[in-house]
Amino acid sequence: GDGGGRGAGGQAAAAAGEGDNGPGLQGLSREAPPADDFDDDDNEGEEEEEAAAAIGYRDNLLFGDEIITNGFHSCESDEDDRASHASSSDWTPRPRIGPYTFVQQHLMIGTDPRTILKDLLPETIPPPELDDMTLWQIVINILSEPPKRKKRKDINTIEDAVKLLQECKKIIVLTGAGVSVSCGIPDFRSRDGIYARLAVDFPDLPDPQAMFDIEYFRKDPRPFFKFAKEIYPGQFQPSLCHKFIALSDKEGKLLRNYTQNIDTLEQVAGIQRIIQCHGSFATASCLICKYKVDCEAVRGDIFNQVIYFRNCACL
């Protein structure tokens, strides 16, 4: 299916996604509303002080081209919602000064990075053996994350959330691996998860996430096809969470469900307003001519662990 990466040499139809880069590549250049738009409370004086305490040095940091030109990249993670183009194009602010400029300024005046980290992470004590440059890199990573949205003061209990769901008609739902674990789909990161088992079966795999990398896939598609067999469509049923989202869709309350999952359980549940940010197993495509087939066409090969080949028009 077209889900996390593509292809197995020449004419192979891949069991991976419309997004060739797979989960983990981060979108960094984004537009933002003016800084004033983030302040929605009446008591500006107190609220600004609270906000400064909460987000600290981020007040002077917005993000975009400066990060890219300085070569900074966010941590790769298939659990990060910003890892897809669909969910990362419009929301991160543009920099007044970037994290690198900020750090350079403090390096010049001899600031101890631990004092900044204490403000950013007040309940965390960095290990004493970490050198200053490592600590500055941690500062950069933290400051490069979009600031957290302020909590609404009128939403504090489960009952408040239920009331919101009952009253709202344009609900956006973001889902990841957690909604499918109860369906029996193996997770990625646990001790016995997919990544751990792939590392044993394929010791030459440089990193478990490399199975989603298109270049590695061209070289050796076996790790991906082994993974594909484990979560291929048709083996699992939607969870209560999937069914709840589908009900919200049916009742006209759902604006969109953005999912990182590629298991197609959203379609099985009947969710129509769905964006699969990492693609899905619904189809498989030829690496050369992009000829697309339904997942059923390659099911037998996937389960027999045979790399699927088709005599495409491109050959």
CATH of the domain at 198: 3.30.1600.10
Same domain, 273 and 194: yes
Distance CA 302, CA 15 (A): 8
Structural domain boundaries, residue 296: 158-304
Ramachandran sector of residue 175 (left: φ over 0; alpha: ψ -120 to 50; beta: rest): beta
Where do we find the tokens 């189809």? 283
Residues 184 and 297 in one domain: yes
Q: Which of 85, 106, 242, 278 is catalytic?
A: 278
Both 273 and 295 in one domain: the answer is yes
CA–CA separation, 295 and 281 (whole Å):
6
Examine the domain organization and report whether 103 and 202 are in the same domain: no
Can you give the pLDDT at residue 212? Answer: 83
Q: What is the pLDDT of residue 102?
A: 86
The Cα 216–Cα 6 span in angstroms is: 10
Are residues 189 and 284 part of one domain?
Answer: yes
What is the pLDDT, as a whole number, of residue 165?
92
Q: What is the pTM of this model?
A: 0.54
Q: What is the pLDDT of residue 305?
A: 84
What integer pLDDT is reported at residue 14 of this predicted model?
Answer: 40
Dist. CA 132–CA 251, nearest whole Å? 54
CA-to-CA distance for 197 and 286, rounded, in angstroms? Answer: 28
Averaged pLDDT, groups of 10, the chain, 315 residues long: 42 38 32 41 48 45 36 38 40 55 88 90 87 90 82 93 93 92 82 79 80 86 86 90 96 96 93 93 85 88 80 65
Q: Looking at residue 119, what is its pLDDT?
A: 87
106 is catalytic: no
How many domains in the chain?
A: 2
Same-domain status, 290 and 208: yes
Examine residue 294 and state whether it is found in any structural domain, yes or no.
Answer: yes
Rounded-to-integer distance, Cα 22 and Cα 211, Å: 9
Examine residue 56 and state whether it is found in any structural domain, yes or no.
Answer: no
The answer to whether residues 164 and 283 belong to one domain is yes
pLDDT of residue 61: 44
Residues 117 and 201 in one domain: no
Q: Is residue 14 part of a domain?
A: no
Q: 162 and 112 share a domain?
A: no
CA 49 to chain centre: 32
Q: Is 22 among the domain residues?
A: no
Does 197 share its domain with 276? yes
* The pair of three-digit structure tokens given for residue 58, joined into one six-digit string: 């981020």
| Whether residues 181 and 297 fall in one domain | yes
Asked whether the beta carbons of 72 and 103 are under 8 A apart, the reply is no
